[in-house]
Structure 1
Amino acid sequence: MCESTVYSTDGDKIMEDAISIKIDGENIKLADILGARKDITGTIVEIDLDKHGIYVKLS
């Protein structure tokens, strides 16, 4: 599987095992492998596919 962990640029973990990320402007909708969902506001600034990390600057 290709899950990733979503972090804020401050280093706080927002969601582990994210499998779906939908972006609509600054609205980011996250879902994990268990179906948990979270909506955040911000901008994705980095995606590290090697380390399975996604970094978001929160608004």
Structure 2
Amino acid sequence: MHGAGCSGANLEKTETAIEAMADGDARWEAQKEIAAAQDALLSGKMGACSMHLTKAMHVGMIK
């Protein structure tokens, strides 16, 4: 899995895509990952932010 760059723009783009997803487990999981990515970004933990953002981007494709 290729890591996504952790930036406000990438978070916003991913969040917009998640909002367009149908309700269900995949969307809920993606929203959890976005929240974790935002928390990591605010804490300056770029590696963790990137990991969570990447998971959020891929969760819709996995399920």
Instruction: Give me the TM-score of the superposition, normalised by structure 1.
Output: 0.26
**Higher strand fraction (1 or 2):** 1
Instruction: Give me the TM-score of the superposition, normalised by structure 2.
Output: 0.25
Question: Relative contact order (alpha carbons < 8 A, sep ≥ 6): 1 or 2 greater?
Answer: 2
